[in-house]
Each structure stands twice: as C-alpha cells, then as structure tokens.
Amino acid sequence: MEGKITFFFDQEGDVLDVSIGEPQKAISKELENDIAVRVNPESGEIVGFTILNFMKRFKHTKKPQRIDLPIKATITTR
C-alpha cells in the first residue's frame, strides 16, 4: 500500500470513501455491517475502504469507535 490517501464524504448518501494511491480496478469485500474494503483483484493489496452510514454511526457517540482493517502500513520519509 503506497501513495496518497484520498477521502470523499457523500453527505446525502452518508458514505465515507477512502482511496489509497492512484485509482484502480478493485473488488469490494464486506468486513462487517456497512464497512467494505476494496482490494486489487490481481495483487490482493488493499486500495481503499468504504463506510456506509458514516455520520449515523459516529454522530451520537463521544467515544472513539474502532474498525479493524486487515492492513499493514508503513511510513517512509524522503
């Protein structure tokens, strides 16, 4: 997983979409209710994830919620 992270929130649909790297073909795999991870079908690399009902899920809570994604990330400096 490399590249820029792009966030897009569709307020009307209440969907948060996060893409990692350049746009590419992917298949979605549902992790849990209303959360899907997008995976490159050839490499198996995670290229993004989507959270449906994002505001509904987080609006009335004061506590952080945890979503476990099956990824390993590293940060490199130049």
Residue 38, Cβ density class (10 Å: 0-12 exposed, 13-18 middle, ≥19 buried): buried
Q: What is the pLDDT of residues 44-71, one digit of tens each?
A: 888 999 999 999 887 877 777 676 766 5
Rounded CA-CA distance 40/25 in Å is: 6
Strands 15-20 and 27-32: unpaired
Structural domain containing residue 46: 1-78
Number of structural domains in the chain: 1
The whole-model pTM stands at 0.72
Picking from 18-22, 30-34, 59-63, 71-75, which range would have the lowest pLDDT averaged per residue? 71-75
Q: What is the dihedral of CA 10, 14, 20, 26, to 10 degrees?
A: -100
